[in-house]
Amino acid sequence: MSKKITQYHNAAGGWGALASTAKHLIKSENIAKNIRNLLNTNQDKGFDCPGCAWGDNDEVGHFKFCENGAKAVNWEATSKRVSSDFFAQHKLSWLKQQEGHYLESQGRLQQPLSYDAHSDCYLPISWEDAFELIAKELNQLDSPDQAEFYTSGRTSNEAAFLYQLFVRKFGTNNFSDCSNMCHEASGVALNQAFGIGAGTVQLLDFDYADAIFVFGQNPGSNHPRMLDSLYKASHRGAHIVSFNTLKERGLERFSSPQNALEMLKNGSTTISSLYLTPKLGGDMAAIRGMVKAMLAIDRQHKEKQQKSVFDEGFIAQHCEGLERYIQQVDDTDWEAIEAQSGLSRLQIEQAALIHLKAKRVICTWAMGVTQHKHSVATIHEIINLQLLRGQLGKHGAGLCPVRGHSNVQGDRTMGINEKPSAAFLKKLGRVFDFLPPKQPGHNTVQAIRAMLNKESKVFIGLGGNFAAATPDTQQTEQALSQCALTVHVATKLNRSHLVTGKKALILPCLGRTDIDLQAGVPQRVTVEDSFSMVHASEGVVPSDIGEMRSEIAIIAGIAQATLGSEAIDWAYFIEDYGRIRDKISQVLPKFKDFNNKINQAGGFYLGNFVAQYHWQTPSAKAQIMAYPLPESILAFTPDELTDQPSFVLQTLRSHDQYNTTIYGMDDRYRGIHGQRKVLMMNKQDIETLGLMHLDKVILTSLWPDKINRQLSGFTVIEYEIPLGNVAAYYPEANPLVPLESVGELSDTPTYKSIAITVVKDSARIRVNTQV
């Protein structure tokens, strides 16, 4: 594939998306089967798309898949299998040098494997021996807290519930999960404000909003079905305001493949009526500015005895903390707001006016907001804005953290949580007649630290790619390799499987698209989307499953070998997943009558206390939190560590990837083709550094511990990005993220604000000139 940087002039979606979907279908060698898969995606009788966590509408016959959903489905439903010969032929030392794309491209894993240090290869092992090995290692630990149990967000509710039951029965709350790197800050802030960590809107609300504010999110690539909602809103005349450090095409213009006329005319719809490009980490300042602008107008109104622009009735009845917050807003001057946001007062005032003119406003956000040092405070600023304007608990208004993995929200609901609530533990203990551990467990960063310190000795990953998704790759890999045992339950081979402990297992599992037969009966599982809708998912692909087992069967197998079956009959749950749902009904009141409810078309809504004004805080009021604007978005002053100019780096996703799974090397909407080791940089910054477009550079991370974190061979490309900010792809740039650089109160790695220096890779230039 040739490397190329171009300008992308078209709208997002449209013919390009259809062509790309077709290309992926054709490439996958399974055309007929895959088209059927797509038709079954997110339909009532199919499987939930293993792509993002956006919700589904109820329109029957509506094609509920998108280009990137198609890639996710194809990637999983491939008929390609990794043979045992492959592992006999390739030593780990060789595999470790291959790209992630190559590893996953080998196809689905189909038999359990155990690492043989002598030959440096993975060799087949029987399921029973694998379970025995895990049981032996777990049972010989000094304490259950010496094991780490990671979960990625594709795991079904049933598998997640069984997993947490097993782990708590074993005796620990060490549940690191992908949430810790994703929307943790949203959960923390929403919990502080309302006592509950989920968003407050439903999909239908997008049809009623007069204005939708989208902060730090790239739906064109990561939640393409959200563009349908934005597209419809824009056609209705609703205002869409985007805050994004980059001009993302999907937020600018979109052509819906559902609109035949627009497609025929090669037309498109403008999505954002106002598009602001703050600096990295500048959203809190920008939103504070919006409130400051509103406050000024409100004071003028008061002088003239006009109606307040804030919802005073709502605030008086439902909120606490207004005075302290207003004081904070008054104490924050425009100079600080403009400097930190990188936006002008005028731009911010424009955004404020759109908010003020709208009766119903939704605010959505994703990783551009949650992966900073001050993410919790930033989300409070969004919450405060909505509280002050009474934008909660009514149609077309509210707060919408747009989740990532398709069941990350459900996994949390099921108890994948290192800090479970006392009420949940009590109920779980009562239903299963045991005393669950109360001590909080490790989150992702704490798990890495504990393995690095050799306190934790066993790592079990239920899905995901821990080594590649976490920060500080070198440290994380060292942490994993110091373990006595590492275990990965996975569909495809990835980097994490190659970073082995003294002993290591890969356990191949069924994916969501596969038919899952137990005792001859096809099983359903359930998932929860970003809008708290729970629905069933049933695989449709009659795959050649080899020795694969379902996640549920694998967890039950490990549990039985480790704990025996006297207290809990684990095998009983494998035969019929409805039995797990019955238990979930007993532990979680919102899941009462679970097995019946999932027969409803479209699933069922878990409800939201916030939307009904039932605040779950100690004072039973919503909390307006008053955080000061941080002096800096970084935790230290880079100038004290280097004489070189420093930049703030964000790491983000391309259009052709799903987290650490790289489908292809293109990023169509950004005009980047055939390569991923690129650094997007402002033209003026390139010139100031004496560099040129397409020069090779070395990136060095700055952090007070002065550990050498460096990447070379990156290509600088001119990009429309604020001065002083740069961008590179995740996971390639993860070695630059210091383990200790985490969000306040969330412990989420600051993946969107890493201080780095950029210097010319002269070694590389020398090689080039010799050629």
Q: Phi/psi at 169 (nearest 5 deg)? A: -65, -35
Q: How far apart are CA 417 and CA 408, in angstroms?
A: 11
Count of H helices and E strands in the chain?
32, 31
Beta carbons within 10 angstroms of residue 207's beta carbon: 14
Specify which residues 541 forms β-bridges with. Answer: 514
225 vs 597, which CB is nearer to ligand MGD? 225
Q: How far apart are CA 174 and CA 166, in angstroms?
A: 12
In the block, residue with structure tokens 């917050």:
325
By three-state DSSP, how is residue 3 classified? coil
Contact string (CB under 5 A) for Mo ion, positions 558-577, x = contact: --------------------
Q: What is the DSSP string of 80-136?
A: -B--HHHHHH--HHHHTTS-HHHHHHT-B--S-EEEETTTTEEEE--HHHHHHHHHH
Query: Which range touches ligand MGD (CB under 6 A), out of 82-90, 230-238, 355-363, 462-470?
Result: 462-470
CB of 675 to ligand MGD, least distance (A): 17
Task: Give the total residue count for the chain.
Answer: 771
Nearest to 319 by CA among 374, 379, 383: 383
**Which listed residue (130, 294, 376, 652) binds ligand MGD by CB under 6 A?**
652
Q: How far apart are CA 40 and CA 34, in angstroms?
A: 10
Amino acid at 418: E
Query: Which range touches ligand MGD (CB under 6 A), out of 187-195, 218-226, 449-457, 514-522?
Result: 218-226
Q: Confirm or reject binding of residue 281 to ligand MGD (CB under 6 A).
A: yes
Q: How far apart are CA 632 and CA 646, in angstroms?
A: 14
178 vs 756, which CB is nearer to ligand MGD? 178
Pick one of Mo ion, ligand MGD, none as the site partner of residue 164 (Cβ within 5 to 8 A by kind): none
CB of 244 to ligand MGD, least distance (A): 4
Pick one of ligand MGD, Mo ion, none as the site partner of residue 281 (Cβ within 5 to 8 A by kind): ligand MGD
Pick one of Mo ion, ligand MGD, none as the site partner of residue 603 (Cβ within 5 to 8 A by kind): none
Query: Which range touches ligand MGD (CB under 6 A), out of 237-245, 344-352, 602-610, 761-769?
Result: 237-245
CB of 217 to ligand MGD, least distance (A): 4
Query: Which range touches ligand MGD (CB under 6 A), out of 138-146, 365-373, 388-396, 426-434?
Result: 365-373
Which residues in 687-706 contact Mo ion (CB under 5 A)? none
315 vs 737, which CB is nearer to ligand MGD? 737
Q: How far apart are CA 639 and CA 641, in angstroms?
A: 5
Q: Confirm or reject binding of residue 268 to ligand MGD (CB under 6 A).
A: no
Which residues in 399-418 contact Mo ion (CB under 5 A)? 404
CB of 578 to ligand MGD, least distance (A): 20
Q: How far apart are CA 373 and CA 89, in angstroms?
A: 45
Query: Which range touches ligand MGD (CB under 6 A), out of 55-63, 211-219, 327-335, 472-480?
Result: 211-219
CB of 116 to Mo ion, least distance (A): 34
Query: Which range touches ligand MGD (CB under 6 A), out of 277-285, 388-396, 607-615, 710-718?
Result: 277-285
Q: Residue 505 burial (CB < 10 Å; 0-12/13-18/19+)?
A: buried
114 vs 364, which CB is nearer to ligand MGD? 364
Q: Are 187 and 412 in contact (CB under 8 A)?
A: yes
Q: Confirm or reject binding of residue 56 to ligand MGD (CB under 6 A).
A: no
Report how many residues bind ligand MGD under the rule CB under 6 A: 63
Query: Which range touches ligand MGD (CB under 6 A), out of 217-225, 427-435, 520-528, 614-622?
Result: 217-225
Rg (CA), the chain: 25
Q: Are 517 and 523 in contact (CB under 8 A)?
A: yes
**Beta strands, E only, 583-707:** 604-605, 622-623, 646-652, 657-658, 661-662, 672-673, 678-681, 696-701
Which residues in 514-573 contact ligand MGD (CB under 6 A)? 551
226 vs 611, which CB is nearer to ligand MGD? 226
Q: Are 201 and 399 in contact (CB under 8 A)?
A: yes
Pick one of Mo ion, ligand MGD, none as the site partner of residue 738 (Cβ within 5 to 8 A by kind): none
Nearest to 679 by CA among 661, 696, 662, 703: 696
**Which listed residue (121, 159, 182, 363) binds Mo ion by CB under 5 A?**
182
Q: Strand 678-681 to strand 725-729: parallel, antiparallel, or no bridges (unpaired)?
A: antiparallel
Q: How far apart are CA 665 and CA 679, in angstroms?
A: 15
**Which listed residue (16, 46, 144, 278) binds ligand MGD by CB under 6 A?**
278
**Which listed residue (37, 40, 41, 68) binds ligand MGD by CB under 6 A?**
68
**Which listed residue (52, 125, 135, 351) binds ligand MGD by CB under 6 A?**
52
241 vs 326, which CB is nearer to ligand MGD? 241
Q: Using alpha carbons only, what angle is made at residue 719 by residues 381 and 400, rounded to the nearest 5 degrees?
A: 25
Kindly list the residues in this chain that would bind ligand MGD in the complex (CB under 6 A): 51-52, 68, 104, 152-154, 178, 181-182, 215-218, 221-223, 243-246, 248, 278, 280-281, 283, 366-368, 371, 404-405, 462-466, 469, 489-492, 494, 509, 511-512, 551, 650-653, 657-661, 730-731, 733-734, 737, 751-752
